[in-house]
Copies of this chain bind each other. A is one copy, B any other.
Amino acid sequence: MSETEFFKALADPTRREVFERLADGEMNATELRQGFEMSQPAMSQHLAVLRSAGLIAEQKLGRNVIYRINPDGVAQIHQWLSRYHAFWPKRVDELKRLLKEMDQ
């Protein structure tokens, strides 16, 4: 759950893609492995890194394990980045749009 952990977790392209897939909806490990030319243990280890960093959460369901994004992890990155808001892009439009969406 440390900053080092979640930056390290996201520093790997495979793990970022896994994270991106989970953003579209929850999946189990076998589904997540589709399209990756990688052994099952390799994916399992990647998932362990993401989970240990607090970026994803797991839920055992029978013999399957369902993974989904952990909003707390995203919130932590958001909080880290907010420290540098002085350097954020000056275009405010997108931020305004987001705010509108979140208010609903």
User: Footprint of B on A, CB under 8 Å?
Assistant: 3-4, 7-8, 10-13, 16, 20, 23, 69, 71, 74-75, 77-79, 81-90, 92, 94-96, 98-99, 101-103
Contacts and interface: CB of A to CB of B under 8 A. Distances in A.
A71 to B, nearest CB: 4
Nearest to A98: B85
A78 B82 CA distance: 9
B74 A87 contact: yes
A6 B12 CA distance: 11
B87 A23 contact: yes
B94 A82 contact: yes
A3 B101 CA distance: 26
